[in-house]
């Protein structure tokens, strides 16, 4: 096997999430300061401050296109860089790799002194100013499990295997990892209740998801073809679409989720690029016998051959008692993004197929990622089967749904023989109230 390219940033070599081969983008500032947030990339335990590299003219050797892309990072969001498109992202990422690689280290001392910030000393922000957020329902296992709870004889509605189902989420309530999550209140009506009551959600849940950000979009009235959709996807993140299942059960018919979903969704602070994920591309999961083939506008041989992402996604739970006892979080779910029924390219192509204009920074959520096994179910609703089969935690606690003080963390990573493992960091929220 060829030697793995190393970085002069020692913590990056062998790092579980952020080796040289990853370099995810995010927005940060030094903690405890009033600095304007700006764009950086994660490298090992540190963050490379791209605007500091711009100020030091470290990109001059890489040409005008790279300098233009780097100057777009002198901003409190990734939107300007995203709007430049995939070619600018690739060029800047190549330059950053060169600056950080151990075999090209003439600028290492200057970078280390002026442009390298420890992640432990940084405050992270939402990486993108999201204008619109659409959450899909792309896991057939999740859709089947949830449907069977309410419609045992007909779990999947007739349209599921023909069209990527989604709903318009609330961009204003997207928050970055680490933000506390207040339990929402609303109308809820149990099956034996004569009428609804208003109060805090009793069936509070997480959803184990991935998100994809749009880079260059399309004009109103035009479409994004399935063959080109991948080039419009700028990067990927962790996503937790918190859900109040009791509010959802009462309100979702006939127009779908509303107050049960729009109070908060947490995204990870780091955006992983398609270039970092290239070694982990995979064919889409084969459809079950008898399933319809996707309609032509959702069909592309390239997407079928490499539109899947071989990512392991995990959910970790840590209760108040566990924190007080200094016990680690326990993993409650492990799934794979290869279990998604629809690819992100299909989601985007469908979203724009009616002429809807997509814009830089728009976010697409995968919906809950669940697999065929009980341990791969991506939310408490499925894991505990609406609370009827509570989770037994190692310290003796039981959980049907999330309770006050519970901290839920989502992680994701990719690894295979011949490639360096990369990860997405953490997407964490603690329930309050």
Domain that holds residue 14: 10-125
**23 within some domain:** yes
CATH number at residue 403: 3.90.850.10
My answer on whether 75 and 165 are in the same domain is no
Picking from 97, 125, 153, the residue at the C-terminal end of a domain is: 125
Residue 76 contacts residue 38 (beta carbons within 8 Å):
yes
Report if residue 384 sits inside a domain. yes
Q: Indicate if 167 and 299 belong to the same structural domain.
A: yes
For residue 216, being part of any structural domain is answered with yes
- The number of residues making up the chain comes to 433
Q: Determine whether the annotation assigns residue 265 to a binding site.
A: yes
Q: Is residue 46 part of a domain?
A: yes
Provide the pLDDT for residue 253. 85
Same domain, 70 and 199: no
In terms of domains, do 80 and 138 share one? Answer: no
Do 133 and 169 form a contact (C-beta atoms < 8 A)?
Answer: yes
Handedness of CA 185, 187, 188, 192 (dihedral sign): positive
Q: Specify whether 379 is located in the same domain as 231.
A: yes
Q: Do the annotations mark residue 236 as ligand-binding?
A: no
| Planar angle of CA 146, 152, 153, nearest 5 degrees | 130
Is residue 252 a known part of a binding site? yes
- pLDDT for res 113: 82
Q: Does residue 5 have a cis bond before it (omega within 30 degrees)?
A: no
**Could you tell me the two tokens for 90?**
């690739």
Long-range contacts of 148-154 (CB under 8 A, 24+ apart): 149/381, 149/385, 149/386, 150/249
Indicate whether this model's pTM tops 0.85.
yes
Question: Within this chain, do residues 159 and 75 fall inside the same structural domain, yes or no?
Answer: no
CA 184 to chain centre: 22
Beta partners for 134?
A: 168, 364
pLDDT computed for residue 150 by the predictor: 82
CA-to-CA separations, 378 to 53, 192, 206, 214, in angstroms, rounded = 40, 28, 8, 24
Q: Does residue 18 belong to any structural domain of this protein?
A: yes
Q: How far is CA 405 from the centre of its chain?
A: 23
Distance of alpha carbon 297 from alpha carbon 149, whole angstroms: 32
Digit-by-digit pLDDT tens for the chain (433 residues) are: 456 899 999 999 999 999 999 999 999 999 999 999 999 999 999 999 999 999 999 999 999 999 999 999 999 999 999 999 999 999 999 999 999 998 766 667 778 888 999 999 999 999 999 999 999 999 999 999 999 998 888 889 899 999 999 999 999 999 999 999 999 999 999 888 999 999 999 999 999 999 999 999 999 999 999 999 999 999 999 999 999 999 999 998 888 889 999 999 999 999 999 999 999 999 999 999 999 999 999 999 999 999 999 999 999 999 999 999 999 999 999 999 999 999 999 999 999 999 999 999 999 999 999 999 999 999 999 999 999 999 999 999 999 999 999 999 999 999 999 999 999 999 999 999 8
Residue 22 lies in a domain: yes
Q: How many domains, in total, are found in the chain?
A: 2
Tell which of 125, 151, 185 closes a domain. 125
135 appears as a binding residue in the annotation:
yes
- Domain shared by 249 and 142, yes or no: yes
Write down the residue that tokens 């041989």 correspond to. Answer: 301
Alpha carbons 260 and 186: distance in angstroms, whole number: 8
* CATH number reported for the structural domain that contains residue 94 in this entry: 2.30.30.230
* Closest alpha carbon to 299 in 284, 281, 310, 289: 284
Q: Give the CB-side neighbour count of residue 152, counting CA atoms within 13 A.
A: 1
CA distance 69 to 64: 9
The answer on 397 and 311 residing in a single domain is yes
- 175 in the same domain as 250: yes
Same domain, 221 and 288: yes
Q: Residue 270's closest CA among 15, 7, 52?
A: 15
Asked if residue 209 belongs to a known ligand binding site, the reply is: yes
pLDDT score for 105: 61
Residues belonging to the active site: 142
Q: Residue 165 domain-assigned?
A: yes
Check whether residue 20 and residue 55 sit in a common domain: yes
Q: Which of 92, 125, 158 is the last residue of a domain?
A: 125
Neighbours of 227 (CB within 10 A): 14
Cα separation of 173 and 257, whole Å?
Answer: 15
3 in a structural domain? no
Interatomic CA distance for residues 185 and 188, integer angstroms: 9
If asked whether residues 224 and 240 sit together in one domain, one would say: yes
Read out DSSP for 56-72? TTTTGGG-HHHHHHHHT
Task: Give pLDDT, residue 361.
Answer: 98
| Whether the Cβ atoms of residue 366 and residue 340 lie closer than 8 Å to each other | yes
Q: Phi/psi of residue 391, each to 5°? A: -70, 135
User: What's CA 198's distance to the chain center, in Å?
Assistant: 32
Quick check: 234 and 145 in contact, CB under 8 A? no
Separation between Cα atoms, residue 375 and residue 378, nearest integer Å: 8
What's the number of CA atoms in the CB half-sphere (13 Å) around residue 34? Answer: 0
């Amino acid at each position: 096997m060829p030697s793995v390219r190393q970085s002069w940033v020692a913590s990056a070599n062998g790092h579980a999430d952020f080796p040289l081969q990853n370099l995810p983008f995010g927005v940060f500032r030094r903690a405890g300061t009033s600095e304007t947030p700006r764009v950086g990339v994660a490298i090992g335990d540190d963050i490379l401050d791209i605007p500091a590299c711009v100020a030091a003219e470290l990109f001059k050797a890489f040409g005008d296109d790279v300098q233009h892309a780097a100057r777009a990072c002198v901003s409190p969001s990734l939107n300007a860089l995203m709007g430049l498109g995939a070619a600018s992202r690739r060029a800047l990422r190549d330059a950053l790799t060169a600056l950080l690689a151990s075999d090209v280290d003439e600028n290492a001392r200057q970078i280390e002194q002026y442009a390298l910030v420890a992640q432990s000393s940084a405050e992270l922000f939402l990486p993108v100013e999201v204008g619109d957020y659409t959450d899909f329902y792309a896991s057939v296992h999740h859709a089947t499990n949830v449907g069977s709870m309410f419609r045992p004889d007909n779990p999947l509605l007739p349209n599921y295997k023909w069209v990527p189902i989604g709903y318009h989420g609330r961009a204003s309530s997207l928050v970055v990892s680490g933000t506390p999550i207040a339990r929402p209140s609303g109308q809820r009506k149990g099956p034996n209740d004569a009428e609804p009551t208003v109060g805090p959600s009793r069936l509070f849940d997480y959803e184990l998801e991935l998100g994809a950000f749009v880079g260059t979009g399309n004009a109103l009235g035009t479409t994004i073809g399935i063959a080109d959709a991948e080039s419009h996807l700028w990067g990927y993140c962790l996503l937790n679409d918190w859900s109040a299942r009791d509010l959802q059960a009462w309100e979702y018919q006939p127009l779908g989720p509303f107050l049960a979903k729009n109070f908060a969704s947490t995204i990870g602070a780091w955006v992983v690029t398609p270039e970092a994920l290239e070694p982990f591309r995979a064919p889409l999961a084969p459809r079950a016998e008898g399933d319809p083939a996707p309609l032509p506008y959702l069909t592309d041989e390239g997407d079928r051959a490499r539109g899947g992402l071989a990512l392991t996604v995990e959910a970790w739970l840590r209760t108040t008692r566990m924190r007080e006892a200094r016990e680690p979080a326990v993993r409650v779910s492990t799934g794979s993004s290869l279990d998604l029924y629809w690819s992100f390219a299909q989601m985007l192509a469908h979203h724009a197929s009616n002429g809807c204009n997509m814009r830089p920074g728009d976010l697409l959520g995968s919906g809950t990622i669940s697999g065929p096994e009980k341990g791969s179910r991506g939310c408490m609703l499925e894991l505990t089967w609406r609370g009827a089969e509570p989770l037994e935690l190692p310290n003796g606690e039981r959980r049907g749904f999330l309770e006050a003080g519970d901290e839920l963390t989502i992680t994701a990573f990719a690894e295979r023989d011949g490639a360096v493992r990369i990860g997405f960091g953490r997407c964490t929220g603690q329930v309050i109230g």
